[in-house]
Amino acid sequence: MAPQDQNTSVGDLESLTEGKAPSTTLFRPEPEHDEFSRRTLLKGFAAGSGLAVATPVGSALASHNVTSQVAHASVGGRLREYWIQADSFQHNLVPTGYDGMMGDHYTANQTSFWAIGYRAYTPGWQKPLAGNNDIGLNAGIPGPIIRAEVGDTIRIHFRNQDTHYKFAHSMHPHGVFYTVNSDASWLAALPRPSGAVEVGQSYTYEWIARPDSVGTWLYHDHSKPQGPKMLMEFGAELGLFGMIAVTDEKTTAVDQEIFLFFHDLYHDDVPSLSQDFDCFNGYAFVGNTPKFTARVGDRVRWRIAALGKEFHIFHLHGHRWPFQGRFDDSLVLGPATTRTFEYVEDNPGTWLYHCHVTDHMMGGMAGLYVVTT
């Protein structure tokens, strides 16, 4: 092992934690209320105390609205610790039983399956954190939003509690710097502990946010081939994915920050589903996918990502934004592609956002974005 490798198995965890003070914990215990002021700022992080310093804020959790307002103080060099667990659970992709675009009805047994998701916990994986605007809904699909400023170290205490499938899992990041011991990928010819954390086991990953890490990224399961068809990244199809947002001192504050993840589930791979489903943040069809909101005058930033084996076109009705030297209203996303874009909201109404690949749109990739004055 190279001397610069900072990763350890959980057995070394105590000494590792003790050796690096002050430790900054991103999370606090569950807030007393799920409802927070929509415009509450997520203040910059208090420096130097060694105590939990991030103040999570949240809003409109019932509508799956994962937006936030973030003030980016120019700090960095902090240690951000996350306790994340892969949990297996029953999940219904269409909880309303209704496709609000096509008008079709579904029963729960057509749209439910055993999912696996990453969830953020209190230290020691004691209990799941309540959703908030810092980490998102934390309902499992997608996993918690992981945030860092350039210079920060992200430490992931990962535990596999996939008690249903009992697959090995891992947590592989994009966009950040990591050594091979935090790569978390599986190679049959070169098996490494980071790429196959067995059920009941844990592993600590460390990722560094560098200047070339600024932007939107994703993380996902990259463990052994699994399932009846022995698929690579089958855990990710079942829900093991999430997003990373890295900022620096040039990242401007926004009023609304929207995280949207494209992913597909196939009947051939998951026979309990009656058909293929194309999902936004783990839900299919208008009325089930996230309903995002903004007000006229808001600066709105979207962070979008895709995983799997499809190409998608993100399209938002009624809006355009600067992108790569021109204005655009549709962006191509391939597997593991991410995009970040923003605009100042000026068009009130209830708008459709959807994948413009018609099969995907009809398969569930459509949702609503509501702008009020």
- Residues in touch with Cu ion (CB under 5 A): 312, 355, 357, 360
> Closest distance between Cu ion and the C-beta of residue 259, in Å?
17
Nearest Cα neighbor of 206 from 16, 14, 15 is: 16
- 80 contacts 147 by C-beta, under 8 angstroms: yes
Nearest Cα neighbor of 253 from 69, 75, 74 is: 69
What tokens does 40 get? 């509450």
> Closest distance between Cu ion and the C-beta of residue 79, in Å?
37
Toward Cu ion, which CB reaches closer, 172 or 312? Answer: 312
Toward Cu ion, which CB reaches closer, 60 or 355? Answer: 355
The residues, any chain, with a CB within 8 Å of residue 272's CB and separated by 6 or more, are 109, 112, 113, 114
Residue 300 phi/psi, 5° resolution? -115, 125
> Closest distance between Cu ion and the C-beta of residue 278, in Å?
6
Other residues' Cβ atoms within 10 Å of the Cβ of residue 114:
15
Toward Cu ion, which CB reaches closer, 238 or 304? Answer: 304
> Closest distance between Cu ion and the C-beta of residue 196, in Å?
31
Toward Cu ion, which CB reaches closer, 301 or 360? Answer: 360
> Closest distance between Cu ion and the C-beta of residue 341, in Å?
17
- 299 contacts 255 by C-beta, under 8 angstroms: yes
> Closest distance between Cu ion and the C-beta of residue 364, in Å?
10
Residue 14 phi/psi, 5° resolution? -60, -45
Residue 101, Cα to own-chain centre: how many angstroms? Answer: 25
Q: What region does 193 belong to: left with phi over 0, alpha with psi -120 to 50, or beta?
A: alpha
Toward Cu ion, which CB reaches closer, 135 or 365? Answer: 365
Q: Could you give the CA distance from residue 284 to residue 277 in angstroms, rounded to a whole number? A: 7
Q: Could you give the CA distance from residue 314 to residue 212 in angstroms, rounded to a whole number? A: 25
What tokens does 205 get? 């990953």
> Closest distance between Cu ion and the C-beta of residue 266, in Å?
14
Toward Cu ion, which CB reaches closer, 222 or 360? Answer: 360
Toward Cu ion, which CB reaches closer, 357 or 370? Answer: 357
H or E element in which residue 109 lies? helix 108-111
